[in-house]
Amino acid sequence: METLVNGKQTVTKTETMTGAEALIRSLLAEGVETIFGYPGGAIMPIYDALYNYKDQLNHILVRHEQGATHAAQGFARVRNEVGVVFATSGPGATNLITGIADAQIDSTPMVCITGQVASNLLGTDAFQETDVIGISMPVTKWNHQITDASEIPEIIAKAFYIARSGRPGPVVIDITKDAQFASLEYKYQKCTEIRTYHPVPKIKKDKLKEAAALINGAKQPFLLIGQGVLISQAQEVLRKFIEKAHIPSAWTILGLSALDNEHPLNVGMLGMHGNYAPNVLTNECDVLIAVGMRFDDRVTGDLSRYARQAKVIHIEIDPSEIDKNVKADVPVIGDARQVLEALMPLINENDHSSWLERFKQLHQIELDKIITHDLYPKTEGVRMGEVVRHISEATKGEAIIVTDVGQHQMVTSRYYKFRLPHSNITSGGLGTMGFALPAAMGAKVGRPDRPVVAVIGDGGFQMTIQELGTIFQYDIPVKIVILNNSFLGMVRQWQQLFFDRRYSFTEMKNPDFTAIAKGFSIESKKVTKREELEQGVKEMMLHPGAYLLEVTVEKEENVFPMVPSGAAISDIRME
């Protein structure tokens, strides 16, 4: 094959190989090092091809396909790279859907490769045939079915480009079995553009000037940090930006760790179980600057009473998010880092000390009423907050923390003192119970140089408990903390507050978690008393391998503050 390189004629060699091998070679060309997967009949040719590349690709055999997607999410989030998943057709593919939906709403780049029955059997209800393209379409950034082996290199290149560019997201590529067996002339070229797809919009200079004018004229500005800051690697320019303009800044649960928790302009967490000051003062600021966030209902509460007094600047890469929930006075469409860099020379140095003092005053109220009691309780039972405090102190705020979904998730987000970016891994938009254990596994595979601690409720842990087998097989030294209150705690809290304590099917009779850990050769310990807690956490962190620490916590502990469903965020409850 002849091509032109720098104006000169040259010969590009092609190789004849199967579609299955072409897929593996394409993954290597994209820099893939790790795959999370589970084999089966329809993807067997790909696994056979993978056998010859075991020294170049690290395949982690999970215990359930959903675990593969969550592990890939954890890997992708700590590395800021694309996570890769393999699964077979039918139930293998459908078991991926929850993780794919989770990745879609949380903007996590992932490429899922599914095997499919032979093309001549499509539509015949063949054994383990499922329309994975139709099923996954609503929860993917893009999907495509390959029936011709010659398509594989081009489609894989396109899949990785789409998954990682602009607002990231999951892509599903479904490959029929005959396409895996068939031969093709293989050559690979990375995708750098698609004619109809513009992932990074060009920033409009007039919007930058309008935004800067509002910021410079503000008396009480307030900045909201979303996950877009982390995705675009904008955390350093964000810090310089808020320091120059002296703007109090709060974070969404997915924006957590973009700004050091100890930074003097970090005023805490937004939303339903966020901090008192940022929630109340959202409805008092005069300019609201949202960076890389989508105004989720958990952040805004009742939209009709959300920041009505403020001029809203919305910095967002995805145009579909503009005006979707909150009307923007100045929409600035573009990559968060590029926008902040362009705004920096346009904003003035400022001092909003009196405004910042309002946050400190309200924080003191929360400190006296809630935080001190959560972190240093005088009650007999162990509280979730003090467990998180000990973990934070033992790790000096430098661990990667992976949380499941529920009360423990909110408490950990509130009380762990994050010092480093890309350190908070959680299921934000979908709220997937069972996320944490496999995601922590993937995070540790992605960042073996950093401690990874999974904080999980007893309910969520049992949804993906089988992944202890993966941790055991691959000797993944993740630390697992189970906060055991023998309840589905968040649901129970709502039942207590809003359903007259009618605890309908939320109490759990749990197994002996330490005995289960022992069955997987994982060291473990159970803590039931406060005086055992500090030493238990230290032992866990000092242990060189995987470790499970079960802590029995107060059975009916509630998480406050709390914005009731349908209320304004400024109507946040302290008890």
Residues forming the active site: 65, 127-128, 177, 490
CB 93, CB 121: distance < 8 Å: no
| Nearest CA-CA partner of 111 in 131, 85, 134 | 85
**Residue 170 gets which letter from DSSP?**
E
* Token output for 404: 């499941």
In the DSSP assignment, the letter for residue 204 is: P
Going by C-alpha positions, the residue among 492, 272, 529 that lies closest to residue 377 is 529
Dihedral sign, Cα of residue 477, residue 431, residue 567, residue 317 = positive
End-to-end Cα spacing for the chain: 73
At 227, give phi and psi (nearest 5°): -65, -20
Q: Which residue has the tokens 């009650």?
A: 379
Distance of CA 477 to the CA centre of its chain: 21
State phi, psi for 144 to the nearest 5 degrees.
-160, 140
Contact 272, 282 (CB under 8 A): no
Please list, in sequence order, all residues whose beta carbon lies within 8 angstroms of the beta carbon of residue 501, skipping any fewer than 6 positions away.
495
Closest listed residue to residue 334, CA positions, set 313, 348, 351, 353: 313
Let me know how many helices (H) and strands (E) the chain has, helices first. Answer: 24, 22
User: The tokens of 86 are what?
Assistant: 């393999």
Q: What is the DSSP string of 12-75?
A: ---EEEEHHHHHHHHHHHTT--EEEE---GGGHHHHHHHGGGTTT-EEEE-SSHHHHHHHHHHH
Q: What is the distance between the alpha carbons of residues 393 and 535, in angstroms, rounded to a whole number?
A: 12
Strands 83-87 and 547-552: unpaired
In single-letter form, the type of residue at position 513 comes to F
Q: Say whether 368 sits in a helix, a strand or coil.
A: helix
3-state secondary structure of 331: strand
Q: Which of 26, 106, 109 is nearest to 446 (CA)?
A: 109
